[in-house]
Amino acid sequence: MRGFNKLMNRFPKWMILVSSIVITLFLGLEAWRENLNMEWQKYQHKYREELIYRAQSEPDRVSLRDYEIELRQIVVPELKSFDRCITCHVAIEDSRMKDMPNPLKAHPGDYLDTHDMNKIGCTSCHDGQGRAVTFEDAHAKGVEKFWEKPLLRKPFIEATCVRCHADALSQTPAYNLGKQLFQQKACFACHSIGDIGGVKGPALSDIGNASFHAKMPIPDNRHRLLEKFDQNVNLAYLYEAIAQPDAQPQDTLMKITPLSEEEIIALMVYLKSLSAERRAMDIGVSQAQATGPVPAAQVNTASAGTVKVTGASSKGYLVFSKNCVACHTIGQGDRIGPDLKGVTSRREYGWIKNMIKDPVAMIESKDPAALELLRKYKTPMVGMGLTDEQVDDVIQYLKNPEDISITADGANVEGATAQMAAGPKKATQAEIAKGAALFQGKQRFFNRGPSCIACHDVRNSAILGGGALAKELTDVHARLGSMAIAAILNNPPFLVMKEAYKNKPLKEDEITTITAFLEKTNEVQGNQLPGNYQSKMLLIGSAGFAGLLGFCCFFWFNRKRKSVNAAVYSRQKGAKKNFKGSL
């Protein structure tokens, strides 16, 4: 019995010894595998052997034996790219290796003749996980991998070209066709990209980066579509959403559109290109339209004082100023939409009336002129809910825009110069401050509409940081001017904004102060740095960590430093010394 007890006393020690030896061996083997026997090291050894085999002279062979086996990567801070793909694809720029199997094969085609890998990296075109050093992790395929950007293959790799290229490319036929189909099929009528499009369907601004934890094909389609698209869950979902829109949700309003397989793939490529970091051309707006100056708008502002409009076209002028001026001018050039000077002589009366009354129906009916305008200006026109009488008044104004008389502040101005009669007065500092408060929600709108900062951002020291759902407005005043901004705020032409402020219109003084704030923001933008809150957040986080650490230390240094048994023993020992009686 004594021997058994002795053995049992030693058993934990033997267990600790054996466990330590096993763990040490395991760690040693893992260290050997990670440092001396990785998959990429084997590829580089094979590449070195191939180089030595192909060497033309003995000195070359000797020098090639010193070829370093090491981890390689391309760092492109501008693209936030850290790509270790060349650790395995070490021969990607070696044209002699074009007949070798992957990953020792040279890059196909002549793309590297015009694309410097050191400036664009690999994942900017191919996606995948650039920091990975194993095949499975780098390609990031499969539901169980939980990567957001699996490796793309043809033709879906075309979707990434818009990250750098603004103009249409002949090398991206699938993307070009998908973009054309998106416009021709009037997808904008229900779906929005940025602040352009409808609200009946989900916004597609970031559908190309949709997390597959929320966007995944239904179980009945999952296995088949994952096999079809090389385990890329995002592509599988896009295919299902286009080809079988009633799969999820089953009560969707989207109808099944007869499309060929080629057209479905093309639409997938275009949708895959949409991300939160898209450029202006991704939604069909040219760089000139996105950044170019826009002439002054033909609309009266709230600060203009007393304005009286008379003449045969006065009713149409008022409707046009309220509903149309944000996108159109008369004789001042194209804006978001075309210049409407002389439109009544170019188009039939019935066509103009139908286009103003229900432009979405005109596109859905595939009217050639409406489709041509959509292709040219890239932005679908939205219906403003005008009555037949209002439409007739607008057409009358378009026929005779000079046939109005505007009296503002006692002055009577005729014809084309009438738009200048009600120029806005200089905003005060109090108005600018109120506009800033309204913009960022510190002061609520009178009719309880949402604050601008929920969707927009500006580069202004008074604003901590705004939303990214719609356009950045730092230079909007330079692009549109006070009058057009006031027109948009008074009667939003964008469906998302129109829906947000439905039954919650802004008051005149609110429009004036927000316009003043945006004008001031544009004036001082050169003195404002882009929003960067990392330093503030680091300081706040450090202070919070220090406070938490101090809180923990307070209780740590006041903890019991000895066991409960020690305290009991001390009390018993003290009691024994002080005991003077007898048992």
Give pLDDT, residue 280: 34
DSSP E strands: which ranges in 215-318? Answer: 307-310
Residue range 117-138, pLDDT digits in tens: 888 888 888 888 888 888 888 8
Residue range 171-194, pLDDT digits in tens: 889 998 998 888 777 777 677 776
pLDDT band at 531 (very low <50, low <70, confident <90, very high): low
Angstrom distance (rounded) from CA 159 to CA 155: 8
Q: Cβ atoms within 10 A of the Cβ of 472, count?
A: 13
Give pLDDT, residue 82: 85
Contacts of 146 (CB under 8 A, 6+ apart): 213
Query: Is the entire prediction scored with pTM above 0.75?
Result: no
Angstrom distance (rounded) from CA 383 to CA 353: 11
Q: What phi and psi values does residue 153 have, to the nearest 5 degrees?
A: -125, 175
CA angle (505, 511, 512) in 5-degree steps: 155
Could you tell me the end-to-end alpha-carbon distance of the chain, in angstroms, rounded to an integer?
37
Residue range 314-357, pLDDT digits in tens: 888 888 877 787 678 888 777 778 888 888 988 899 999 999 98
Q: Tokens 């099944």, residue?
A: 256
Give pLDDT, residue 461: 66
Give pLDDT, residue 426: 72
CA angle (159, 160, 164) in 5-degree steps: 130
Tokens of 364: 């859905």
Least confident of 89-93, 250-254, 309-313, 429-433: 309-313
| Residue 215: pLDDT over 80 | no
**Inter-residue contact 81 to 95 (CB < 8 Å):** no
Mean pLDDT of the chain: 77
Angstrom distance (rounded) from CA 379 to CA 295: 19
Pick the CATH number of 156-284 from 3.40.50.10470, 1.10.10.10, 1.10.760.10, 3.40.50.10800: 1.10.760.10
**Inter-residue contact 379 to 395 (CB < 8 Å):** no
Q: Cβ atoms within 10 A of the Cβ of 462, count?
A: 17
Q: Cβ atoms within 10 A of the Cβ of 342, count?
A: 12
Are the folds of 307-420 and 429-527 the same?
yes
Q: Per CATH, is 307-420 categorized as 1.10.760.10?
A: yes
Of 50-64, 200-214, 266-280, 328-342, highest mean pLDDT? 50-64
Angstrom distance (rounded) from CA 102 to CA 96: 14
Give pLDDT, residue 118: 85
**Inter-residue contact 327 to 489 (CB < 8 Å):** no
Give pLDDT, residue 415: 36
Domain ranges across the chain:
2-37, 40-139, 156-284, 307-420, 429-527, 537-575
Give pLDDT, residue 261: 92
Give pLDDT, residue 565: 63
In which region does residue 338 sit, left (phi positive, over 0), alpha (psi from -120 to 50) or beta (all else)?
beta
| Residue 262: pLDDT over 90 | yes
The pLDDT > 90 percentage for the chain reads 5
Crossing angle (nearest 10°) for helices 368-377 and 173-184? 130
According to CATH, the topology of domain 429-527 is: Cytochrome Bc1 Complex; Chain D, domain 2 (1.10.760)
Give pLDDT, residue 576: 57
Burial of 273 (0-12, 13-18, 19+ CB in 10 A): buried
In which region does residue 387 sit, left (phi positive, over 0), alpha (psi from -120 to 50) or beta (all else)?
beta
Crossing angle (nearest 10°) for helices 314-323 and 388-399? 100
Tokens of 541: 């986080």
Q: Cβ atoms within 10 A of the Cβ of 298, count?
A: 23
The residue ranking higher by pLDDT, 106 or 463, is 106
